[in-house]
Structure 1
């Protein structure tokens, strides 16, 4: 399901945009989860896990501007669609730093918002729908790619470590880790960071020469021989 976040410290403006969103979704026959926020700090913190496909942001807000919030969000979600809705035209040039799809002046015009949402929807990659099916003891289990933090290999068993702490294991394998990865993991989504560990690139929060901190705060090792490849793939994804 598509996820949308609205952030505006002005209650009336926030409710107005959310009302337009409900009307838009009904008109287009779409389903989406919509969350609203009254402060950019809350938005940034909660969206580390919520990870919206589309953001609609005010710019002039307390402590952190919408553009500053967008920079933070863009670092963690380079594929997200960002729409600015603001009463200040003076930030238009600066906003290009975060590659928004539109800059709408308040009061928000419904038709302009609907047209912008049509464009955002056409660009959304539904990462929630990306999945893989894993053979487990007694059958098979389908996992959403975005929930997989990393995969490791021990005693001829591959374990999938998920965002909420769950662990899904394969039966004992007759093949090595390299062959298993080649056959079962998307090379676009995962990178091998250690002889026995592969991480979901989208789950990386911090990378050093010896370790990776993941979105769920777990850490996994990075071997010296694989650091350069991991760094290149990570920066390609982020930037």
Structure 2
């Protein structure tokens, strides 16, 4: 089950709640709504009753903050957090659980706090204060590119890879959209140098540049992206891609 609620409009904080117990799930959701209203904080909140749905949907939703139960069927909250952390190293993770015995095990995913149930409002509110203080909404990276007829702004965390074909650069997005420039008079290398000279992208092929943050798995021949799509990596570029990937992860 995934349930979406937009509490205010505008550039929003994104929060995911996952708990298989209905009463606990509704209590956490209610407290989060109360907190956001008290703080006059804009947020998109999604609520899940199973970690599988959480992991699948958050590939696209990419919350800034996760509030996770630990004891859930099939996949524990800690296991889910490990998978989520791999693709979102900056996410703030809060564990809420009735089992104190998991506290030590939870540390390897670097949670911001570990709250025992029944959850106390003051404890959750102070933890959310800390989590939000670590989220830089204003600094959420965006780029503006030329498209036919004008300009378009793209969120950096939604770009999977950039492709160059027939003098046109296309941005392949995690939403499934492909956003293309007009025909260019410059080559791909020059375009990347002018527009993406930082560390967010790395050339993995003569006509492809991958978002380092979107890499889920890397082999000597292929890159598996967040969401499952695969793109090739040239033998001559593998070492550079690996170096950038490892720098990002660790």
TM-score (norm 2): 0.89
Structure 1 contact 78–237 (Cα < 8 Å) conserved: no
Per mean C-alpha deviation after superposition, the further-off stretch among 127-136 and 78-87 is 127-136
**Residue 211 of structure 2, aligned match among 185, 200, 204:** 200
SS in 1 for 2:104: helix
Cα distance in 2 for residues equivalent to 1:151 and 1:128: 22
1:114-149 Cα shifts (integer Å, max 9, x gaps): 111111111124399421111123321111212221
TM-score (norm 1): 0.93
Structure 1's unaligned 5+ residue stretches are none
RMSD over aligned Cα, in angstroms?
Answer: 1.7
Cα distance in 1 for residues equivalent to 2:207 and 2:216: 20
1:8-33 Cα shifts (integer Å, max 9, x gaps): 11111111111110011011111111
Structure 1 contact 78–238 (Cα < 8 Å) conserved: yes
The offset of 1:64, in angstroms, is 1.6
SS in 2 for 1:6: strand
**Which runs of 4 or more aligned residues in structure 1 lie more than 3 Å from their structure 2 counterparts after TM superposition?**
125-129
Instruction: Please state if 1:17 is matched with 2:28.
Output: yes
SS in 2 for 1:225: helix
**Residue 135 of structure 2, aligned match among 116, 119, 124:** 124
Structure 2 contact 97–115 (Cα < 8 Å) conserved: yes
Q: Which residue of 1 aligns with 2:48?
A: 37
SS in 2 for 1:226: helix
Instruction: Please state if 1:160 is matched with 2:179.
Output: no
Structure 2's unaligned 5+ residue stretches are 1-11
Structure 2 contact 224–230 (Cα < 8 Å) conserved: yes
Aligned pairs for 1:12-161 within 5 A: 12-126=23-137, 129-161=140-172
Instruction: Please state if 1:173 is matched with 2:167.
Output: no
Task: Figure out how many residues of one structure are paired with residues of the other and give that number.
Answer: 239
Structure 2 contact 31–121 (Cα < 8 Å) conserved: yes
1:58-117 Cα shifts (integer Å, max 9, x gaps): 111112211111111111211111001111111111111110000111111111111111
Cα distance in 2 for residues equivalent to 1:118 and 1:184: 36
Structure 1 contact 193–221 (Cα < 8 Å) conserved: yes
Per mean C-alpha deviation after superposition, the further-off stretch among 227-236 and 2-11 is 227-236
